Structure 1
Amino acid sequence: MLKDIDAVLFDLDGSLVDSMGIWKEIDIAYLGRYNIPLPEGLQGEIEGMSFSETACYFKEKFCLPEDVEQIKKDWNDMAWDKYTHQVPLKDGAREFVEYCRENGIRLGIATSNSRLLVENVMGVHGILDYFDTIVTGCDVERGKPSPDVYLEAARQCKVIPERCLVFEDIIPGIMAGKAAGMKVCAVADEYSRHQEQEKKQLSDYFITDYLDIMKGL
């Protein structure tokens, strides 16, 4: 998997950390402020959107009175404690990140989440300094499944796309990595279990967790 790879780029939620279920809880609580029930299928509709794109989507869909920046601030505030205390790394992730670092492979995060929460959770787990770059969907023109966030992460890592390996848990993210011309490893996650077969078909590799990789190194 790591042959001819100079940079490993991770999506964050569901790929490097177990956090996908938390966002459903936040959506329920946030919409509950306006007595709006969580619509069926909402998570699927916003998959891959950047933090800003999602806030715009919520404002328009639910006719929210707050501006986009306030919506994002509210979400960051609601998620801060959860990311600090309730979001673990995927099994084997720390060991794999350390292995990459020790073997000269550059590391990047390419996420739809906010930079504030990325830095929070990475700092809590003591791995923030291992990464050469963090790129969010708000840093580029288009969110996933467009390749922008992965291409920018590769550029900042000073590595050509063909020598990058992406770890992703959702279909729009897998599509983004492939559209960027990169190898993609799909990561199992409870949130996307119903899409597991499609994830396997779209990606180059599939792992249950990072222990699968460490066993072969």
Structure 2
Amino acid sequence: MDGLLLNTEDIYTLSLNEILATYGKGPLTWDVKIHLQGLPGEEAGQKVIDTYDLPISYEEYNRLNHDIQARMWGQCKFLPGAVELIKYLNSEKIPIALCTSSAKIKYQLKTKHLQENFQLFDTIVTGDDPRIPKGRGKPFPNIWQLGLKELIEKFGTAIEPQECLVFEDGIPGVKSGLAFGANVIWVPHPGAYEYLGDTKMLLGNNGELLKSLELLNKSKYGL
């Protein structure tokens, strides 16, 4: 969801820079941010604290983050091609799951003004789902496995991971999608390209890199 469907990566940067500035640190740069994408909230927050040597606990960091972001979530909007893809998959009755590292409360705050389109997902799994063992967020595949399990239960049909497409923007998410066994459509933030490394080696023959969801060739994947 974050950075793939919604512009929340930019909002995260703004809110985090506000915290960093309070302690005379920052600004957040993409060489650091690239390692935060897709991580569960506590893991990402602790990485920020450690990277910038912030004199606060994770609990204090989380409180500041929550207060600042609460002012900004109303600015969330869909990125180019996202709504069109969601509507298309729904209209074609292709099972779709949203598997986001965001905790449930953050998912709700980000999407409450966008529910008309988020209601088109067949199931939604958030990063704090108790069925995901602690420490098994992305880049581990557990969240995708849980999303697929719920789709299978809803539709009553067998679906194998290799029949799935995982859409991601960050490296931890790409790694988790590949570990899950799916083909991965990787749509990075424009600011991330310089720090992606060898994308062809990471993806292998199991996906592709796109600059926008608008550029997805659906027929290539039988959609």
CA shift for structure 1 position 96: 0.9
Q: What is the CA distance between 1:38 and its match in structure 2?
A: 4.4
The normalised TM-score by structure 2 is 0.76
Q: Which residue of 2 aligns with 1:101?
A: 90
Q: Tell whether the 8 Å contact from 1:166 to 1:177 is kept in structure 2 after alignment.
A: yes
* 1:147 matched residue in structure 2: 141
Q: 1:92 aligns with which of 71, 81, 85?
A: 81
- Distance (whole Å) between structure 2 residues aligned to residue 172 and residue 211 of structure 1: 23
Where relative contact order (Cα < 8 A, 6+ residues apart) is larger, the structure is: 1
SS in structure 2 at match of 1:205: strand
Q: Percent identity?
A: 24
Structure 1 residue 58, shift from structure 2 partner: 4.4
Shift of 1:113: 2.5
Q: Aligned residue for 2:156?
A: none
SS at match of 1:167: strand
Match of 1:177 in 2: 177
Cross-structure match for 2:10: 21
Aligned partner of 1:76 in structure 2 is 66
1:162 Cα offset (Å) = 2.4
Change (3 A) 1:129 1:191: same
**SS state at 2:112 partner:** helix
> Can you give the 5+ residue segments of structure 2 that lack an aligned partner in the other structure?
153-158
After superposition, the C-alpha distances for 1:132-182 in whole angstroms (9 at most, x for unaligned) are 232233332322211122222222222432222101112221111000111
Preserved CA contact (<8 Å) 1:91 1:210: yes
Larger deviation: 128-137 or 142-151?
128-137
Residue 118 (structure 1) aligned to one of 107, 126, 129: 107
* Partners of 2:34 and 2:195 within 8 A in 1: no
Distance 1:209 1:57, change over 3 A: closer
Of the three residues 13, 19, 34, the one matched with 2:23 is 34
Answer yes or no: is 1:134 the counterpart of 2:124.
Answer: yes
Partner Cα separation in structure 2 for residue 66 and residue 197 of structure 1: 32
Cα distance between partner residues in 2 of 1:39 and 1:124: 28
Whole-Å separation in 1 of the counterparts to 2:66 and 2:200: 32
Which amino acid in 2 is paired with 1:172? P
The answer to whether the 8 A contact 1:174-1:186 is kept is yes
Is the 8 Å Cα contact of residues 186 and 199 (structure 1) preserved in structure 2? no
- Other structure's SS at 2:39 match: coil
CA contact (8 A) 2:98 2:124 kept: yes
Q: In structure 1, what is the equivalent of residue 165 of structure 2?
A: 165
For structure 1, which runs of at least 5 residues remain unmatched after alignment?
1-11
Aligned length: 204
8 Å contact from structure 1 (residues 58, 64) kept in 2: no
